[in-house]
Structures are given as structure tokens and as C-alpha cells.
Amino acid sequence: MHSNGQTFQHTLATEFSISGPGIHTGHLVNMVVKPAAPNTGINFQRVDLEDRPVVKADVDNVVMTNRSTAIESNGARIYTIEHLMAAFVGMGVDNALVELDGDEVPILDGSAHAFVEAIEKAGVKQQEVAKIFYNIEHNITFVDEERGVEMVALPFTEYRVNALIDFNSPVLGTQHASLKDIKDFKNEIAPCRTFCFFHELEWLLDHDLIKGGDRNNAVVVVDKPVTDNQVKKLKAHFPDIEIPKGQGYLNNAELRFDNEPARHKLLDVIGDLALVGFAFNAHIIASKPGHAANVMFAKKLKEHIKKVKQKGEIPVYDPTKPPLFDVHAIEKLLPHRFPFLLVDKIIELTDTKVVGIKNVTYNEPFFQGHFPGNCVMPGVLLAEALAQCGGILAIPKDTEDKYDTYFLKIDNCKFKQKVVPGDTLILHMELVSPIRRGLVEMKGTIYVAGKIAAEAILVAQIVKRTKQDD
């Protein structure tokens, strides 16, 4: 699950500001990018709206992929985030808060170059929290036959991206771009500008897009005959455009690389896949990628990584190893006895978590009356088993005093698969917050055969037993 060696999360050393119009909305936007705490990821905040809503940069929040990627939640939408997101990935920034007083990230020159320069000037600061890279366990593919799109993530030890484009254009031809090492992003990919075809400009304007576009923030490809009417209409919006004689680029723009369009598509892939929300290693090969395909692919990757993550979080139970506490030691701590002691072993114990084992057999007394002939362990007893396991963590062990634990609240309790005789429950309890005044809040998960059987947030109170209670 982890990458080679210890890697830490990073944020900005100081904040930076950038202003400019959004390419599609045309609105002038002031953007301030600030450092953020570990494990918070990239968040966008609309400071121009009431309550200053925050939108997490996550594929689940994507609402539009028409010529750019837009995210929305809490009543706030932000357009064209992909170039900034790619810059964060390329510069190794894991956590940042992006404040905007408008609805679109400034387009600038249509690349990630200015963002990379600003991040470099602000500085990137290491945070003392580990960064986990998840590995792709098998090939993951996305195919859109109608658009001719094919994307695949191959298991790999690092992050590598290849992009291939073919627009059936005599000017562009078939192009390929590659990024073998993310360290090369700054020089090889970040300067590459967005592009479109001259014959698309009319459609884009008719659909209220590129309102903030000008000849300085995109490469425009001219590969079809241009009519006088087209030129007249477009000059009303872009008075300084110059049409090349024959085929070429608007205003005879010089490309920064021979394959700049393919490199920009690779940039977009990196920016959109950053919305997976997890750092991962893979070799990405993208043929004819676009924002819609990138986002669909990102959703598949996120789904896969969540399964890998869940599998990595399952405690390892080796029955050949002696437990930390056997059932007799557990009896000395917990105020439970047959038939209500639901923890057989404790195999792991730290200051913040405990892992216990419960072996379920046909001889459990509750099976006689709960679904006779169709043995299913009651869900309430699964919650009780978690609570008892949590008691081992919560009850003080460096005293001769006896304690009882009482349920105060159960939240978000979910039962995901039935528990039957022969199952071995791995009970995992972890503190959500430090114990205060005898109040304990824990996240509990029960695993059976590598899958989650139940989970809940449990709140309990620890109460010292009096001699009268004994």
C-alpha cells in the first residue's frame, strides 16, 4: 500500500495571490492560495458568497465537464480547476485552501506555468504527517467507444503518464506525450497551453463559453477553410485575431513544444485524476482523453483505491500468536460474564485503538431464539461486542478500582453482512477524540472474512464501581 520509503505530506510555506479572468465566464477573479492542515487535501472556498462555502476538490463533487472541469457543493460552484490541480500534483502540494471571490480559477496563459511559479515562490513546506501512496492492484480501464477514448491504469511503482491524441487534423496529426517522472512536470508539462480549433470558436461563443478567452490564453488551430462570415463574427469578440494563410495557428502562434497540444492533454489528465482524492502509484495511458472521460476514469480509480484502502485497514489476525489478553484476563477488566461476554481475545492495544476477536459458534445461546433454523447473530449484539472491546481501551488498567461502561449514544450504525456460526469477528475500536470526564467516543468496525460486517460510532461513559455495586 505504501510507496518506497517514508514520504510526508506537504503544504505551502506561505500564501500567494493571483488575479485574472476566467476563460469561460469572463469574470475577473482574485484568488488567494493558503497553507492548510495535514489530511485536509485541496479545498476551494467562495469568499464572495454568504457563509463562504467550501467545496472539496473531489471527483464526487464534479458537476460539469464541458470544456473544463467544474466542482460544486454547499451551493457553490467553481469552474476550470484542472490546471491549478495539476500544478499542485506537479509541485507536491497535498493540502491547500484556495479562496476565490468568483466562480472560476483564472485562466492566465492557458497553462499551469504561472501556478507552478507562484507555488515555487511561496515555497513548499513538509508536514510531519505521513503521505500514503496507494497501489493499483490490477489493470483498471475506461473505454468510451463512441468518442474513441481508452484509458488504463497499470500497476507501477511510481506515477507515470502517457497521453495520445488524434483529432483527425492535418495540422496536429497524431501526437504522443509522456511524463516519466512527476519531477519533470514543471519544465516539460506545466508550460503547455490549452488549445481548440478555429471552427469550434463559433460554437463555444454561442454556448456562452470562452467569454474570457483571448489570443494569449489558448492555442487556436486553423485546419479548415475559414469563411468571411466566420471572421467577421469572431472579430467582434476578438478584434486582434489574424487568420493564417492556409493551415496553421491563429495569429501565427509559436508552439512551446512540437507536441504542445498532447502535453496539455496530459496536463489535464493529471489535474482531473488529482480529484481521486488519494495519492497513488500507477502508469496511466490515456488515448484521446477529455474532461468527461478523465472524470469517469477518476471515479473508477477512487472506487478501486477505497477497496485497497479498506483491505489495508483490516487488522491481521494470526491465531498462532498468543493474545495480549485471553478471556480470563478480559473478565478481570469487563463487568460481563456468560452468556454476555462477547470478546474472546485482545490481540492489539495502543493508547488510541484496540483490536479484539470474537469466535461465533452454533452454541451461542441467542441462536436458539433468533431466527431458529436460519442462524443470524443479532445486530444489537454486534454493537455490544464492539462496545465491550472498546471498554478494554477505555477502562483504566493501572488501578485496582472496578469500572462499568454505559452506552450514551450510537450513531451511523450500519450492518453490511450477516454474521453466522463459524464466523470470526475482528473487532476494531479507535478513539475519535481524547477521553474527557469519563466520556468515550469511538469508531467501531467489525470485519469478517476480509469485509466489513458492521460499523458504528459509539459514545459511552466510564463509571467507577462503588463497594455497594460489588
Residue ranges with strand state E in 332-402: 345-349, 353-359
* 427 closest CA partner among 341, 363, 329: 341
- Residue for cell digits 473487532? 427
Catalytic residue chosen out of the listed positions 291, 304, 328, 428: 291
CA torsion 194-199-204-205 (nearest 10°) is 120
| 10 among known catalytic residues | no
Grouping H, G, I as helix, E, B as strand and the rest as coil, residue 348 is: strand
> d(Cα 45, Cα 48) in Å, to the nearest integer?
9
CA torsion 178-184-190-196 (nearest 10°) is -10
Grouping H, G, I as helix, E, B as strand and the rest as coil, residue 157 is: coil
Contact 283, 153 (CB under 8 A): yes
Contacts of 423 (CB under 8 A, 6+ apart): 360, 377, 448, 449, 453
CA torsion 261-266-271-274 (nearest 10°) is 170
> d(Cα 42, Cα 105) in Å, to the nearest integer?
14
Length of the chain, please? 470
Max CA distance (Å), the chain: 100
* Beta-carbon count within 10 A of 332 CB: 9
* 219 closest CA partner among 162, 260, 169, 167: 260
Grouping H, G, I as helix, E, B as strand and the rest as coil, residue 97 is: strand
Q: Which three cell numbers stand for residue 456?
A: 458504528
> Interior CA angle at 412 toward 384 and 423, to 5°?
45
| 291 among known catalytic residues | yes
- Residue for cell digits 496529426? 173
Contact 352, 435 (CB under 8 A): no
Residue 452 C-beta-side C-alpha neighbours within 13 Å = 17
Residue ranges with strand state E in 13-95: 16-21, 28-35, 42-46, 54-56, 62-64, 70-73, 76-78
Active site members: 291, 370
